[in-house]
Amino acid sequence: MSRSRSFFFNTLLSKSSDLFFAVNEDLVIEEANAASKEILEYPQEDLLGTSFLNLIEPSKQVLVEDALRQAKEEGEVKLRVNVFDQKAQGVALVLFVFWSVDDRVFYISTQKDSTQSGKEVALPSLREEDIFQYLFMESPMPLVIWDFSTLQIIECNPQALKKYGYTRDEFLALNIAQIRPEEDVPLILAATRTEEAYRNIYKRWRHLKKSGELMHVDTYTKIIDYKGRKAALVHVSDVTGKVEAEEELLKAYKKVSDYKFALDESSIVAITDASGTITYVNDNFCRVSGYSREELIGSNHRLVNSGHHDKSFFQNMWQTISRGEVWRGEVMNRNKQGSFYWVDATIVPFLNSDNKPYQYMAVRFDITAKKKSEENILIKTRLLSAIAEVIGTLFQYDNWEDALDASFGIVGRAISVDRVYYFENYFDPHTNEGFANQKLEWTASSARAQLDNPELQNLPFAVIDDFIVPLRNKQPFIAIVSSMDESVTKELLVAQDIKSILVLPIFLKGYFYGFIGFDDCKQEREWREYEISFLKTLTSKLTSAIEKRKNMLDLQDALREKSHILESIGDAFFAVDKQWTVTYWNKRAESILGVRREEILGQRLWAVFDEKEHSLFYTFYGQSLEEETPVHFEVFYDPLGVWLEVSSYPSPSGLSIYFKDISGRKNSEEKLKKMNRELALSNSELEQFAFVASHDLQEPLRMITSFLSQLEKRYGDLLDERAKKYIYFASDGAKRMRNIILDLLEFSRVGRTTEDKQMVSLEALLEEVVGLNRKIIQEKKAKVLWDEGLPELFTFKSPLRQVFQNLINNGLKYQAKGAVPIINESAKDLGSAWHFSVADNGIGIDSEYFDKIFTIFQRLHNREEYSGTGVGLAICKKIIENLDGEIWVTSELGKGSIFHLKLPK
Ligand code: ADP
């Protein structure tokens, strides 16, 4: 444009004799044609870049300025003015000024003012008043003078009349209140009251045209003395267009700010730059996202990304908005606390002049509640179908563990957890201490499996008390792991990346059998009521599956155990139903009755065993079946020649019959009876003998002894030494026989005492024994000692004294020649019994004879070495055993013997 303009001036206009200018808004001459040289004696180039006003005589510069301004408003203005030439000579020219909106320049063409002649026009010599009049009337702007005291309009220029639409007479008949809208009258009246308010003041008013049209004007008022009157000279500039534009702008602005307010109130607003960096957020954004404005501004919008949507979702969004199109969609975001919120988002790209987005404004509405309810319905539907599926699965699989395993997957996916598992409990039968063992597990692909984690096997309840206690009380264990108190449980959960956990106990027949758990490793999930009830429902389904399996196992175990028992017992066993059909027949029955299982199972019992031949069995079994009572009998079974013991027990389905071959028992019973009979005989014979010996043998013996001593006394002189020796042997033998008989008598009397039990002080009893043996003790300088504090016993005194007498006597007797016997008695409290010992320092006994010496007439020495009958210890044994005690010996040859007595208290 500017090049074509220059072309225009330098070629087309170069031939014109009239002068042309192009003057910009700052009144700088941009173009002038060659006529400048001719008319103003300025070469064209000298003018370019200089102010147009420099060419105007100073007193007219304001006028020219006004004219230009007017041209800008009205398009074209004509004015007469003197233009200075290079020699500062005024050239009277008529200027035609056109404002070009497109080029933003004033095009000014000039003509020689024909009213003026000659180049050198004499300046009109005007009086000051005339100058004023001239300027006033020539001004392109409306000018009004009004009387400051009457407010009457007293003068105006043609521009004013043009603006207000009045004739001069009409206008000069008005006062200034009459060119105002009624409501502004008080304002203007108030304003005129002080002169100050009107001194050199720009003010904006509303003025009325004659047409009634309202216009906005900026007035510049100066108080002057006009023809002796105090008046106001008002320069009026119509700014209606500007004011309206401003008002429009204000309105528009107001509208926008109303929208903004509404938007801010109702939605979440953010602006990001082209790369997604947040540059603006409103309060709602901060509130919903949980981040402060400082945290958000400068961060990438990804800060609130929840990870819920896949990559392609955001790719699609970016493609749309970077193309400059609006994107709309539902997005799940995550706030600072980690909770999710759903928004309905509209993202509007703001485009630069190249149509490239330089920023994006995202307006979002929180639709979390709506989403949640949609989601809840969806989830609930999903959970319901999961329950149906699980029940189906439990039926489908034969293998219980497979069924549970498959169910875990369904449940885990339905409720979107990372892990579902089953632990079974074990209780130590001795300590009753509980342990948990992981048995089954399902894991989402994102989580780490824990089935092989050794920490989750044999996990003692004691260390995870906080976890077990609620379960044991039939309560769920629910926790957000990060907010748990420090404990072993927490450590275990953290090690498995668990963020949120829900565990439900399994009770079988009121017994804490195990538990099923659900882990969320992604978020600190708060379990909802319906989720918990869903998992409870499922757990109860799974529990009944476990129970069924357990019952089955128990049944199998019981069956196995039963058949094991039935097969392993030595008894023969068979079972019949109420129609006598044989339903069970064990191995032993096969071998005793000689009928194989295959031959008889499913057969009628009496078809195999003739009921007439077996009438006794038939009768007893029939009775047991009919009366529903057990029946036992023993019978000699002729066909096999054996004795049988038979027991028949009624069962709900018929009879269970046990029998065994008791021929062996029967035979030994018989033998035993015979032996007992013989034994009873020999015992009484022995007693008889002892009785006879005690009473009847003593008499002839005494006779033998006394006749032998008579023989020695009377015929001693007649007898030689040998005869005397024979008599001595004979009387010695009779003496010994007497001792034997006495001992034997003593022995036979044991247990036949008529004495009552009494309190016996063992110490006093030993004193007595020492008294009885005083002579021999003195002879041998022996010592008989006992421990202090020997007990008192409630017992038969004489037999006990006899025992100690015999033992101490033996201790004194069985000594090496010349040895000094030391005998010591002691007692030990065994709680329910006393253990007494009588220890000597004698010759000792070879262990080979420890038992033998307690048998009657058993001696280890001949009477030349040590006198005795061999009955003493037998008597001791009989007495002690009669008192329900025990007697035995321990000894070392050459060192001594200890006789032990154990007597119940
Ligand atoms: P007796 O003493 O009359 O021979 P006992 O029945 O009292 O009969 O003893 C049986 C045998 O046991 C004795 O002959 C003797 O050989 C042995 N005997 C008993 N007491 C002792 C003892 N204290 N030390 C060594 N041998 C003993």
pLDDT of residue 568: 63
By percentage, how much of the chain surpasses pLDDT 70?
Answer: 92
Q: Please give the distance, rounded to the nearest whole angstrom, from the Cα atom of residue 872 to the centre of ligand 1.
A: 8
Which of 207-221, 831-845, 857-871, 875-889 comes out lowest in average pLDDT?
857-871
724 close to ligand 1 (CB < 6 Angstrom):
no
**Can you tell me the mean pLDDT for 449-456?**
86
pLDDT of residue 272: 93
- State residue 450 phi and psi, 5-degree precision: -120, 5
From the list 604, 606, 607, 624, the residue with the least C-alpha distance to 615 is: 606
- For the ranges 14-18, 415-419, 564-568, the one whose mean pLDDT is highest: 415-419
Which of 256-260, 405-409, 577-581 comes out lowest in average pLDDT?
256-260
From 851, 859, 861, mutation site for ligand 1 pocket: most ligand atoms within 8 A of C-beta: 859
823 close to ligand 1 (CB < 6 Angstrom):
no
**Can you tell me the mean pLDDT for 825-852?**
93
pLDDT of residue 123: 45
User: Secondary structure of 708-769 in the HEC alphabet?
Assistant: HHHHHHHHCCCCCHHHHHHHHHHHHHHHHHHHHHHHHHHHHHCCCCCCCCEEEEHHHHHHHH
pLDDT of residue 753: 66
Q: What token pair was written down for 103?
A: 């080029």
90 close to ligand 1 (CB < 6 Angstrom):
no
Mean confidence (pLDDT) of the chain: 86
Q: Who wins on pLDDT, 682 or 151?
A: 151
Residue located nearest, by CA, to atom 12 of ligand 1: 853
By percentage, how much of the chain surpasses pLDDT 90?
Answer: 36
Residue located nearest, by CA, to atom 2 of ligand 1: 868
pLDDT band of residue 846 (cuts 50, 70, 90) is very high
Q: Who wins on pLDDT, 448 or 680?
A: 448
Q: What token pair was written down for 770?
A: 């020492």
pLDDT of residue 860: 86
| 32 burial via Cβ count (<10 Å: 0-12, 13-18, 19+) | buried
Q: Please give the distance, rounded to the nearest whole angstrom, from the Cα atom of residue 806 to the centre of ligand 1.
A: 9
**Can you tell me the mean pLDDT for 676-693?**
66
Q: Cα(247)–Cα(728) distance, rounded to whole angstroms?
A: 172
842 close to ligand 1 (CB < 6 Angstrom):
yes
Q: pLDDT at residue 484 above 90?
A: yes
pLDDT of residue 687: 65
Residue located nearest, by CA, to atom 9 of ligand 1: 870
pLDDT band of residue 4 (cuts 50, 70, 90) is low
Q: Who wins on pLDDT, 304 or 755?
A: 304
81 close to ligand 1 (CB < 6 Angstrom):
no
| 730 burial via Cβ count (<10 Å: 0-12, 13-18, 19+) | middle
Q: Please give the distance, rounded to the nearest whole angstrom, from the Cα atom of residue 34 to the centre of ligand 1.
A: 176
Q: pLDDT digit string (tens) for 34-62?
A: 888 888 888 888 999 999 988 988 878 88
**Can you tell me the mean pLDDT for 343-362?**
90
Q: How far is CA 783 from each of CA 8, 161, 778, 820, rounded to the nearest angstrom?
A: 167, 170, 9, 8
Q: Cα(347)–Cα(301) distance, rounded to whole angstroms?
A: 12
Q: Please give the distance, rounded to the nearest whole angstrom, from the Cα atom of residue 873 to the centre of ligand 1.
A: 7
463 close to ligand 1 (CB < 6 Angstrom):
no
Q: Please give the distance, rounded to the nearest whole angstrom, from the Cα atom of residue 898 to the centre of ligand 1.
A: 12
364 close to ligand 1 (CB < 6 Angstrom):
no
pLDDT band of residue 295 (cuts 50, 70, 90) is very high
Q: Please give the distance, rounded to the nearest whole angstrom, from the Cα atom of residue 860 to the centre of ligand 1.
A: 7
Q: pLDDT digit string (tens) for 857-904?
A: 888 888 778 888 888 999 999 899 888 899 999 999 999 999 999 999
Q: Please give the distance, rounded to the nearest whole angstrom, from the Cα atom of residue 751 to the centre of ligand 1.
A: 22
Q: Who wins on pLDDT, 351 or 564?
A: 351
632 close to ligand 1 (CB < 6 Angstrom):
no
pLDDT band of residue 497 (cuts 50, 70, 90) is very high
821 close to ligand 1 (CB < 6 Angstrom):
no
Q: Please give the distance, rounded to the nearest whole angstrom, from the Cα atom of residue 859 to the centre of ligand 1.
A: 6
Q: pLDDT at residue 709 above 80?
A: yes
**Can you tell me the mean pLDDT for 106-126?**
62
Burial letters 593-609, b for 16+ CB under 10 A, else e: bebeeeebeeeebbeee
Taking a C-beta distance cutoff of 8 angstroms, is the pair 243, 216 a contact?
A: yes
Q: pLDDT at residue 422 above 80?
A: yes
From 747, 776, 808, 814, mutation site for ligand 1 pocket: most ligand atoms within 8 A of C-beta: 814
Q: pLDDT at residue 121 above 50?
A: no
811 close to ligand 1 (CB < 6 Angstrom):
yes
Residue located nearest, by CA, to atom 3 of ligand 1: 868
pLDDT of residue 212: 92
pLDDT of residue 564: 67
Which of 559-568, 640-649, 836-845 comes out lowest in average pLDDT?
559-568
868 close to ligand 1 (CB < 6 Angstrom):
yes
Q: Please give the distance, rounded to the nearest whole angstrom, from the Cα atom of residue 682 to the centre of ligand 1.
A: 26
Q: pLDDT at residue 437 above 70?
A: yes
Taking a C-beta distance cutoff of 8 angstroms, is the pair 283, 266 a contact?
A: no
pLDDT of residue 128: 57
845 close to ligand 1 (CB < 6 Angstrom):
yes
pLDDT of residue 685: 66
810 close to ligand 1 (CB < 6 Angstrom):
yes
645: enclosing H helix or E strand? strand 642-651
**Can you tell me the mean pLDDT for 136-154?**
88
Q: Please give the distance, rounded to the nearest whole angstrom, from the Cα atom of residue 733 to the centre of ligand 1.
A: 20
Q: pLDDT at residue 749 above 80?
A: no
Q: pLDDT digit string (tens) for 626-649?
A: 998 889 998 888 888 888 889 898
Q: pLDDT at residue 1 above 60?
A: no
Q: Who wins on pLDDT, 133 or 96?
A: 96
Q: pLDDT at residue 221 above 90?
A: no
pLDDT of residue 567: 67
Q: Cα(115)–Cα(81) distance, rounded to whole angstroms?
A: 12
Please give the model's pTM, rounded to 2 decimal places: 0.33
Q: Cα(639)–Cα(378) distance, rounded to whole angstroms?
A: 80
**Can you tell me the mean pLDDT for 439-457?**
87
- For the ranges 398-412, 544-558, 807-821, the one whose mean pLDDT is highest: 807-821
Q: pLDDT digit string (tens) for 527-557?
A: 888 888 888 888 888 788 777 777 777 767 6
From 776, 873, 892, mutation site for ligand 1 pocket: most ligand atoms within 8 A of C-beta: 873
897 close to ligand 1 (CB < 6 Angstrom):
yes
* DSSP-derived 3-state class of residue 877: helix
Q: In what order do the strands lie in the sheet with 29-32?
A: 29-32, 20-24, 105-112, 90-100, 76-84
Residue located nearest, by CA, to atom 7 of ligand 1: 872
Taking a C-beta distance cutoff of 8 angstroms, is the pair 117, 26 a contact?
A: no
